[in-house]
Structure 1
């Protein structure tokens, strides 16, 4: 399951699953994605990914190295960043909650959007500093989560240092934001166990949006939030995906000296084991190349297989004379079962709803499209309306500007260009 953790003001995606060390244990991912993060400040459990993160305190990359282990009673067993499986009693681990920290600053909005679409979280956690209130980026993140139909909840943190009048104003602003016509959410402040049970039963099924007011300094309501993580179910039946063909979304890649190319991402369906033969692509020409999985790591530990819904990293080797680096590895590629006979797509038809636009969109307009782990500039080749403005729905034919990608009908897509934002669903793959 995917869940998110409270740690000052942060943005993260959480993934919880039954004990991943047991091969027969079912994987039940549940995801939460929190926004508005300053979690990049030097912290004993979060190492800045770059020098400017340490200097500015702004998260600028997607961090996926935080995990919370829970037992059957919901008690936290470990929250260590580098702790390996061998250091824990695996017999007690019933659920693992993983966090993905996203960027909250507007300069890194593209990174945040990519993390939200590529990791396909079950839930989103929006973290708001009580003393800072609702910012423009808070509104952006809430809008994106609602547009992508991902259930969200809110954590108001730093209540220990916030004066009461400022706290009241923050809560009033949050209530107004969630009740806007485009959101139509009902804020529900959780302060007791009874209110927690009401929130758990209603969350994701009704308009109720749980709101937690917590302090990481004195621990106010932190146990309630941890119980919320433990009780939230997965929105996906990952166990049913085990018999499907393997599909792995690549969102990171790097070279390790002496090891070779490593690709990291999320396994959407199927089971990938050692020496598994998969097709990696598409490359710039739309071709898929056969590779062999030589090593698998999940949560910083070597494993024999990766289960559906889990994030992991593979060491891959080419099965042809060409070196794997010659395949032009990049974000947006996938690893697929050869039996799927995958075909790369250059253009596709999409049903689009324009959420906000300060200009009119016509044929040849060029926004950035986000579809799962794909991020690329597209061109409007045709549409059934003469122009597109805020609130207009249309069927649009889009064409990738640079290279073909692997897409599937029914995938949710997000379009951005400056302050222009639109949401859509892929209906047909044309070529």
Structure 2
């Protein structure tokens, strides 16, 4: 007999139905209204479980009752342009429990975006995994897949990523991958136009030399989840552990993918798996590792990963394709963690992650829309410049995934063409703000920090690099409530940006780093 489910929550994207039998117009309209509410709560996706009472008891229903219930739910889904997919069917006391995955059609809203930075030690197969997932073409064992998505020539020659790049995996309303249906499976525009859901993989460097780039790639994107790649033949090495620590410190739910199983002896793979499971269970991490073996594991993990306790572990090979089907199904049903819809009514804010000087257009900046919305021809504020000032600029055009758009909303990465500012005046970490905001450039701030790991003591005058969103700038310790500070200490500090003021906000989380991650902090007060 199945275990009892948790009692149904009035909020969230999970709905229980024991059974439905009344096929009347008014009843179907009410079901459609309720379904749309659940879909909005889930960012455009929802799970329905039929055969279960509201208090979570798995009663089960007969085959005829299942057919009738599905018919009524599909009639309701048609009214709101949603699709229904049966993902699980299990025996219960009086018949069966059926779990459904429901997704809004593209006509109703722009595609649902989920951002996942891909982390792990150098040479563990991060770029190769992204390439295989996004192109549908297996690796040849000679870095062929990695070369398809490398950004620079030196990355192809060395076989190592040194920059930040994004690749997209799109799903249509039926859960099918759209990349595999187009001539160029990496074509961002086609993926955007055809997809109901887009997984944005942030391909990051694994070498310690590029840790600052990797940290910026994580802190600037507000990720839904982090995907930690571990090579089965080497295990979780130093930088992989560093990346895991960053994700845990930032409270980002983690997905683990073990690669290179095609060249790894079974006993070595077993040792690697045991090492990961043991580490995740340690006090301080207190995670629940789930080795994904079947569809039940996939659905269980997808529904609970947002709790930040569950860590699904996938074992795959990019050469043979083993295990990739389970990872793809998981990515198809995984819910968004960020509630972007709730931020659309706020004043617009975007941190600049990159800049371009486009011939015939001029300055173009790119970044993730954190809150509010910006439309073409809107006037916005950009800054702070080195003197702490902000400047009014007009948004000439907006591009999302290389598609010309009229508007960008929270959760979308966009490129904005701006007037009244030269390319050389812009720095990464500056912001694009609503013109009605009275912005303040900050040079000093009070924060509460925890020293994660540091080989020596930290005293007033100590300098290190601070990462806040896409800001990366040296800070100096001015005052400290505890002096000196050592590994494990938590205290209040006053920090000062060394050369440039920045736009930061109370309660923003930041990382302090030199050669390795040293501390995690929260801004308490702007000076």
Question: TM-score, normalised to structure 1's length?
Answer: 0.89
Q: Where does 1:216-255 land on structure 2 (aligned, <5 Å)?
A: 216-255=318-357
Q: CA deviation at 1:17?
A: 8.2
Cα shift at 1:358: 0.6
Counterpart of 2:230 in 1: which secondary structure? strand
| Aligned-partner Cα distance in 1 for 2:145–2:361 | 30
Residue in 1 aligned with 2:397? Answer: 295
Counterparts in 2 of 1:196-275, with a 5 A limit? Answer: 196-205=298-307, 207-275=309-377
Q: Check the 8 A contact 2:382/2:392 in 1, yes or no.
A: yes
When residues 21 and 267 of structure 1 are mapped into structure 2, their CA distance, relative to the original with a 3 A threshold, is farther
- Once residues 395 and 89 of structure 1 are traced to their aligned partners in structure 2, the CA distance between those partners, rounded to angstroms, is 45
Query: With CA pairs under 8 Å and 6+ residues apart, which has the higher RCO, 1 or 2?
Result: 1
Q: In structure 2, what is the equivalent of residue 12 of structure 1? A: none
Report the counterpart of residue 374 of structure 1 in structure 2.
Answer: 471
Q: Which residue of 2 aligns with 1:6?
A: none
Partner Cα distance (1:106, 1:418) in 2: 8
Q: SS in structure 1 opposite 2:419?
A: strand
Judged with a 3 Å threshold, the aligned counterparts in structure 2 of structure 1 residues 81 and 297 are, in CA distance, closer, same or farther, namely: farther
Give the unaligned 5+ runs of structure 2. 1-42, 46-102, 129-142
Describe how 1:334-413 pairs up with structure 2 within 5 A.
334-413=431-510
Are residues 1:158 and 2:260 paired?
yes
417, 422, 426: which one aligns with 1:324: 422
State how far apart, in whole Å, the 1-side matches of 2:333 and 2:413 are: 21
2:179 to 60, 72, 78: 78
Greater Cα offset, 373-382 or 72-81: 72-81
Q: Equivalents in 2 of 1:408, 1:346: separation in Å?
A: 12
Cα displacement string for residues 344-400 of structure 1 (whole angstroms, at most 9, x for unaligned residues)? 000001110111111101111111111111110001111111210011110111000
Matched, 1:429 2:513: no
- Measured in 2, the distance between the counterparts of 1:194 and 1:22 equals 28
| Residue of 98, 110, 116 corresponding to 1:32 | 116
Q: Label 1:88 to 1:422 Cα distance change in 2 as closer, same or farther (>3 A).
A: closer
* Structure 1: gaps spanning 5 or more residues: 1-15
Tell me how far 1:121 sits from its aligned partner. Answer: 0.5
Shift of 1:217: 2.3
**After TM superposition, what 4+ stretches of structure 1 lie above 4 angstroms from structure 2?**
16-24, 79-82, 87-90
Give the alignment of 1:84-103 within 5 angstroms.
85=189, 87=190, 90=193, 93-103=195-205
SS of residue in 2 equivalent to 1:220: coil
Name the counterpart of 1:9: none
Quote the Cα distance in structure 1 between the aligned partners of 2:357 and 2:105. 26
Deviation at residue 300 of structure 1 after TM alignment: 1.7
Per mean C-alpha deviation after superposition, the further-off stretch among 384-393 and 219-228 is 219-228
Given the superposition, is the C-alpha separation of residues 257 and 111 from structure 1 closer, same or farther in structure 2, using an over 3 Å criterion?
same
